[in-house]
């Protein structure tokens, strides 16, 4: 928490000073060089006892350098409020609201300092070996060639290296990838019992389309593979891509930039069973206001309507990321009901997670679940809103759900008792019960 607050404070100070008058570069360069020269000339023992004022001056110099770099690089400056803060700016605006910013993990856009150092050492070592080989005659050349051949014989190919890279944990993985003119950054991630929430930043070298049918959406085709502790994989895809999600909700901050959130969710996705997740995006797309139009008549009223086959612009590429979900079995709370009325209708259980709530119905034999729906009212007697596109999930963000009332309705009755007619649900319900979560252990 201390590190998070420090990061936020640093970003605030940088942004606060972006508009300040910057001294002449020559003067700055000279003062910075003088300050760092004083530090370099001290021996290690002296450096341990640097005056606090000088240490602060070095920190201030670094901050000032960052400010200057941002002024000279407006694209980076514009990203400062975005990277790491997308959840906080969008979590109340999306169709699945939640306090994601309080339960999120920031994803590094670059490898950790340890990995950078290791790669640098490897590069330097290879350069030294190559230089030695080039200046040691035919014998050295032969030995160097043998070294390459032995690597091929033992199967250390590029494919093997790529496979090893996929095993990186979140502290060494790169979460910024560029492909097809689009730079995609995974900014933050939050996990729920059966959902992954991603904050993304998509930057287009060219301009995004502007005549959008849905100006707050960016569609995509993706592929999701989950890995179990034993290394086995489970696909959450069909022939056209993942069925967990197909669009990001958010906003276009300018002609080249989209910031958004993605909800990957399914009842089949129990994150407590997996230790790693691989997400690959192969296409981003936008639906336009233009397209071919046609007419049709509604079967019930014979009313003529106009239909539009909207134009879609695609941005092809390959953006592959690996995440490491960390979720325990106690990440959700279940209250068992297992009660029915004389007709056999009832509620098996009610489940509450960090971001949503839902009930599981009990139906008589022969009845189908899609003919019924469960609604949930909060402790203040107000119905909870949908959590995303799943009609069976309810959002708990900003609501008192310590005690809730659960209603089981026929779908046809729900159609006439939703929205402004929600007050009819208690009288239309074929089963209802009250659940007090505060009393549950």
Report yes or no: 261 and 197 within 8 Å, Cβ to Cβ: yes
Give the 3-state secondary structure of 293-361: EEEEECCCCCCEEEEEEEEEEEEEEEEEEEECCCCCHHHCEEEEEEEECCCCCEEEEEEECCCEEEEEE
Say which range, 163-177, 207-221, 270-284, 309-323, has the weakest mean pLDDT: 163-177
**Number of other CB atoms surrounding residue 337 within 10 Å:** 18
pLDDT digits (tens, 9 = 90+) for 246-267: 999 999 999 999 999 999 999 8
Q: Which tokens belong to 288?
A: 């336009």
List Cβ neighbours of 304 (8 Å cut-off, separation of 6 or more).
295, 296, 297
Report yes or no: 253 and 156 within 8 Å, Cβ to Cβ: no
More confident site: 239 or 73 = 239
Residue whose token pair is 């019960």: 433
Q: What is the DSSP string of 408-420?
A: EEEHHHHHTSSGG
List Cβ neighbours of 422 (8 Å cut-off, separation of 6 or more).
375, 383
Could you tell me which of 199, 175, 170, 2 has the C-alpha nearest to residue 101? Answer: 199
Q: What is the pLDDT of residue 83?
A: 81
Q: What is the pLDDT of residue 324?
A: 93
The CA–CA distances, whole Å, from 226 to 163, 300, 419 equal 16, 45, 37
- Find the distance separating the first CA and the last CA of the chain, reported in whole Å: 28
Q: Which tokens belong to 56?
A: 């602060």
Residue whose token pair is 């694209």: 75
270-274: average pLDDT: 93
| Residues forming beta bridges with residue 319, ordered by sequence position | 281
pLDDT band, very low/low/confident/very high, at 134 (cuts 50, 70, 90): very low
Could you tell me which of 97, 103, 102 has the C-alpha nearest to residue 387? Answer: 97
pLDDT band, very low/low/confident/very high, at 438 (cuts 50, 70, 90): confident
- Decide: helix, strand or coil at residue 76: helix
Say which range, 4-13, 262-271, 431-440, has the weakest mean pLDDT: 4-13
| Residues forming beta bridges with residue 376, ordered by sequence position | 406
Percent of the chain with pLDDT over 70: 66
Question: To the nearest 10°, the Cα dihedral for 135, 137, 139, 145?
Answer: 60
pLDDT digits (tens, 9 = 90+) for 292-319: 999 988 887 888 888 999 999 999 999 9
pLDDT digits (tens, 9 = 90+) for 144-190: 233 333 333 333 333 333 333 333 344 457 899 999 999 999 999 99
Q: How far apart are CA 84 and CA 7, in angstroms?
A: 10
| Residues forming beta bridges with residue 106, ordered by sequence position | 188
**Number of other CB atoms surrounding residue 260 within 10 Å:** 23
Q: What is the DSSP string of 70-116?
A: HHH-HHHHHHTTTTTTHHHHHTTTSSS---GGGS-EEPPSS--HHHH
Residue whose token pair is 């059966």: 194
Any idea how long the chain is?
441
pLDDT digits (tens, 9 = 90+) for 347-395: 999 999 999 999 999 999 999 999 999 999 999 999 999 999 888 899 9
The CA–CA distances, whole Å, from 182 to 16, 202, 207, 256, 342 equal 29, 7, 10, 9, 59
Q: How far apart are CA 401 and CA 358, in angstroms?
A: 12
pLDDT band, very low/low/confident/very high, at 38 (cuts 50, 70, 90): low
Q: How far apart are CA 42 and CA 36, in angstroms?
A: 10
List Cβ neighbours of 272 (8 Å cut-off, separation of 6 or more).
193, 327, 328, 329, 331
Q: Give the phi and the psi of residue 107 in degrees, each rounded to 5.
A: -100, 130
């Amino acid at each position: 928490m201390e590190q998070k607050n420090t990061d936020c404070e640093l970003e605030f100070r940088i942004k606060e000073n972006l508009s300040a008058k910057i001294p002449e570069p020559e003067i700055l360069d000279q003062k910075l060089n003088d300050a760092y020269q004083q530090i370099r000339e001290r021996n290690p023992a002296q450096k341990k006892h640097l005056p606090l004022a000088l240490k602060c001056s070095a920190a201030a110099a670094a901050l000032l350098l960052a400010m200057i770099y941002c002024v000279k690089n407006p694209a980076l400056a514009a990203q400062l409020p975005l990277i790491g803060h997308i959840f906080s700016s969008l979590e109340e605006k999306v169709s699945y609201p939640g306090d994601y910013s309080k339960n999120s993990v920031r994803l590094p856009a670059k490898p950790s300092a340890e990995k950078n150092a290791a790669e640098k050492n490897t590069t330097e070592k290879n350069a030294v070996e190559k230089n030695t080989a080039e200046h040691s005659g035919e014998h050295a050349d032969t030995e160097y060639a043998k070294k390459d051949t032995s690597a091929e014989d033992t199967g250390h190919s590029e494919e093997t290296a790529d496979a090893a890279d996929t095993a990186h944990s979140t502290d060494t993985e790169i979460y910024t990838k560029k492909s097809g003119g689009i730079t995609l950054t995974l900014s933050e991630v939050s996990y729920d019992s059966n959902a992954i929430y991603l904050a993304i930043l998509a930057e287009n070298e060219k301009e995004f389309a502007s005549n959008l049918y849905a100006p707050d959406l960016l569609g995509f085709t993706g592929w999701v593979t989950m890995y179990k502790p034993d290394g086995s994989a489970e696909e959450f895809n069909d022939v056209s891509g993942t069925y967990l999600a197909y669009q990001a909700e958010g906003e276009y901050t300018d002609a080249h930039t989209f910031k958004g959130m993605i909800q990957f969710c399914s009842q089949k996705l129990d994150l407590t069973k997996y230790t790693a997740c691989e997400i690959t995006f192969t296409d981003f797309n936008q639906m336009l206001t233009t397209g071919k139009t046609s007419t049709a008549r509604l079967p019930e009223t014979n009313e003529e309507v106009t239909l539009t086959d909207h134009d879609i612009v695609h941005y092809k590429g390959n953006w592959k990321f690996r995440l490491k979900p960390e979720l325990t079995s106690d990440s959700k709370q279940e209250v068992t009901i297992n009660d029915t009325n004389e007709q056999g209708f009832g509620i098996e259980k009610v489940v509450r997670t960090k971001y949503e709530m839902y009930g599981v119905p009990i139906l008589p034999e022969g009845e189908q679940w899609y003919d019924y729906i469960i609604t949930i009212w909060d402790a203040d007697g107000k119905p909870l809103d949908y959590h995303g596109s799943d009609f069976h999930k309810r959002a708990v963000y900003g609501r008192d759900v310590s005690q809730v009332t659960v209603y089981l309705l026929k779908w046809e009755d729900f159609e006439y008792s939703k929205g402004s007619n929600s007050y009819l649900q208690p009288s239309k319900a074929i089963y209802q019960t009250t659940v007090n979560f505060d009393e549950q252990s």
